[in-house]
Amino acid sequence: GSCQCGVDAEAAAAGDKLAEVRIEALELRTPARDELQELRDLLNADNGRAALWRSCTAPGSRPRPALSSPLASPDGAEFSRIDRIERLRLPLPRKNPRLSRRKTLGHKMRFFMSPTRGTECEATPDNTGDQGDSASGDDSLDSTDCSCGTDSGRPDFSGTWHCSRVEGDWEAYMREQGVAWALRKAAASLQYGVGHQWQEIEQSPQQIKVTNRLRAPPRETRAVYSMDGEPEDIVELDGKKCISVTKWDDSCLLTTQKSKSSLRPMAVARRFMRGEEMCTERTSPSGIVVKRFYRRTE
């Protein structure tokens, strides 16, 4: 009898500790306060602790308690909320997982919304549709856009430019580029860079230097591109290596890229003037076209 009491006390103590961890995990992972309180009340009962302990120590059991089966009432009605919590399959918490996840998401958003992620790697914003660091309508590329204005001469893009509007189905473009759902939604909430993105450009006859700035989250990236039409190695913001060729096509600055590892073609980027606006246009391999328009600032 005394031995059995000792085992029960040890099991109850272990159950209490495991219950605390379980509740902490739920607090970090879900805002369902009423369900958490119901879980607390349930675990305060001796039979609840014993059932929790048995579910975690049974042969072949996982280190996470399975609350729905051992604790459910015969009709299943009393613990329906507990069942819903269990079906979430929430893992036990790591060290401060909220901060860890927030840091990771912030890093991805900065990477995604960076305007330098482009087939130009910077001279034209975005590459994976990470909006900038982060997809456009099924419109095919129009030849009138390549003429880039009435001037037959090559424009001077030097100056500071502010993103004023976008065109195209950015959602479809980014989905084709393999951008994660969360990053696509983050880009959409920031209007794909409208009002949040600037470009500072220094242009010479031989090269063009593009500095991209993002307001939220703050980010600045730079790239220099030769305009002689010769291949050059570029390292994108996500660490991918590509072979890039930048050259003039009438009054358009055209950049084509292919992956250095697979040699597969990537999106084609064009930069040209549309009236008083500078336009950066990206065309995916399937023909989806997206555009950003910039106005010069003083």
pLDDT at position 285 over 80? yes
Q: Give percent above pLDDT 70 in the chain.
A: 47
Most confident of 18-22, 120-124, 141-145: 18-22
Place of tokens 């023909």: 287
Chain centroid offset of residue 192 CA: 13
* pLDDT number for residue 17: 67
What is the average per-residue pLDDT within 47-70? 48
For the chain, what are the domain ranges? 2-93, 104-297
What DSSP letter does each residue of the chain carry, written as one string? -HHHHHHHHHHHHHHHHHHHHHHHHHHHH---HHHHHHHHHHHHSHHHHHHHHHHHHSTT--SS---HHHH--TTS-TTHHHHHHHHT-PPPP-SSHHHHHHHHHHHHHHHHH-TT-STTTTSSS-SSS-TT----BSPPPPHHHHH-SS--SPP---EEEEEEEEES-HHHHHHHTT--HHHHHHHHHTGGGTTTEEEEEEE-SSEEEEEEEETTTTEEEEEEEE-SS--EEEE-TTS-EEEEEEEEETTEEEEEEEETTT--B--EEEEEEETTEEEEEEE-TT--EEEEEEEEE-
* pLDDT number for residue 42: 60
* pLDDT number for residue 85: 43
Q: What is the CATH number of domain 104-297?
A: 2.40.128.20
Write the CA distances from 169 to 108, 127, 176, integer angstroms: 21, 15, 11
Most confident of 6-10, 163-167, 205-209, 236-240: 163-167
What is the average per-residue pLDDT within 41-59? 55
* pLDDT number for residue 27: 55
* pLDDT number for residue 273: 95
What is the average per-residue pLDDT within 199-208? 91
Cβ proximity of 34 and 81 under 8 Å: yes
pTM of the model: 0.50
Tokens of 131: 């909006």
